[in-house]
Structure formats: structure tokens, C-alpha cells
Amino acid sequence: MTPLRQALANYLSLRRSLGYKLRRPEKLLHQFLDFLEANGAPTITTQLALTWACQPKRGEANWWAHRLSVVRTFASYVHAEDVTAEVPPRDLLPCRSRRASPYLYTDREIAALIDAAGGLRSPLRVATYQTLIGLLAVTGMRVGEAIGLNRHDFDARDGILVIHHAKFNKTRELPLHATTVAALCRYLACSKRERAATGTSALFISTTGTRLLYCNVQWTFQRLARQAGLAPRTARCRPRIHDLRHAFAVNTLLDADRDGSDTEQRLTLLSTYLGHVDPAASYWYLSASPELLALAAQRLERQPGATP
């Protein structure tokens, strides 16, 4: 193993001990080291990092910037032990990140997605995707968390899902509504699933009896969205599976206002339920919906000393 390969192994081990998963960075950094070795470079140089980052030639500037940022973080680690390793400057290929506008699904649109899943080829795929979409819509969990669930993470008696190794290696319990518990029980009792799931502990499985892959789930969801007639609302607001999480969060806060609950208290509970590090990470949802922005403005106007 070369010194850079060993440094990469140590780097990944250290950052993962801090809670980072680094699946994509690991893949990119191995590709970068392949590039260095092909060019006979014993260590990292800014020029080679820039040349590698600007691939493919027809790629987008933000993708190039992301690739370089992954190398920059690793290069900083290597430089601490090897002063000959160069760290690419931060103003080289600066990233102009633009956060996508969340596609806030209506109840009718979620129902249309589930109906579209009913047209999938096999009964097992129908049951899997209808249950998966429904679970994401009513819990707001991340897609990776859902497909990472194992059968024993679901406690039907107490109506709880346990999510292990979530973002930052957090573990949390999600209490479920009785209808959600019933839907999961029906899925697990599906004869097609029972026959296919002999070699895996995964809760959601593919037709080959393996755990679902994130890329396949994304592809299938996009297909279902088109079949359900869901079209982009703007260039930056397109139906994505992750937006089921956004819709859940926004509807939770809207429901708190409608039933007269303490919105700030509900936001704190929501933060825990969604697995955010702290409530501040949940405040972004206040800007995700015009209705929520209007409610926030009304609360400010009602505060003592507010400017009329």
C-alpha cells in the first residue's frame, strides 16, 4: 500500500469515527489517487488536483468545484504529515451552491404516487414501493434510513421503528400511527415478500430478495412521478423523493398552527423526530412554504414592541 493509500484509509477511519459516512468522497478520492498514480505523482499537487477535478470536460462547474473540495479536505489532512503535499486554494473553482426548492406534495399527489406504484410489474414491487412511499410521507425519514431498516427494527407491538446509524451515527425511535403499523404488518405478511426475503434481514426488499439500492429507488420514484403526472413547478422545484421529508415537516408545523399548539414546541419535537442535530437545522422549513412564512410574520407582529 502506498503512503497516500494508507493516508486515505486513516483519513476515512478518522472522519467516520466522527459520524461522517463519506460514501461518495471515498469513491472520488480513490479515483483521484488512481489519477495521481497514472501520472507518476508521489503526492498531491494543486495542478493535478485541478486537472482531475475538471472532469468530465463537459461537466458542470458546481460538480468540478465539489470534486476539488473533496480533494482539498483530504489534502489538508495529508499536509499535516507531509508538507510537500499541496492544498488547493479555496478560491480555486469556488462552488456556487443553489439549494433546490422543495416540492411540497399535496395529499392528492402522494395518493397519485402510490396509485402509480400499483402499476409496477411484480406484486412484490407494488407492495414494496407503495409501503415505502407511504412510510416516507408519514414519518419524514430520510430515504437512506428507510432502505437501511432491518426487520427487527420494527416493533409492531409498541408501534415503534428504530433507526440505527443515521446521519452523524445517531440512533432514534419513531413512534408510528396505528394505520402505519398496520400497513407495515401487511407488507411483512405478504407471501411474495416472505418467499423472497430468505437471505436478508432488510425490511424493504427487491424482487431478487436483496436490500433496496438507493439509485434504483431514485430511478423508480422518478418514473412513478411522471406516471402520476407530477411536473416541475419551476426550474429549481422538481418532484424528488427527498421532498416527501420536506412535505412532512411543513405539514407538521402547519397542523400545529391550525390546532392551536405551541409552534416553537412542535418545532423542537419535529427536530428530534427528523433526526436533526439541533432545532436550528429545522428552522429552514419555515422558509419552505409561503403559508409558513406568513404565519411566522403574523407571530412577529403579535410580539410586544413589534413595529406596526
Show which residues are catalytic. Answer: 142, 167, 242, 245, 276, 285
Element at 125 (helix H, strand E)? helix 123-139
Cα distances from 122 to residues 136, 160, 186, in angstroms, run: 21, 29, 17
Burial (CB count <10 Å: 0-12, 13-18, 19+), residue 304: exposed
Element at 172 (helix H, strand E)? strand 172-175
Give the separation between CA 262 and CA 52, rounded to whole angstroms. Answer: 52
Burial (CB count <10 Å: 0-12, 13-18, 19+), residue 67: buried
Largest CA distance in the chain: 68
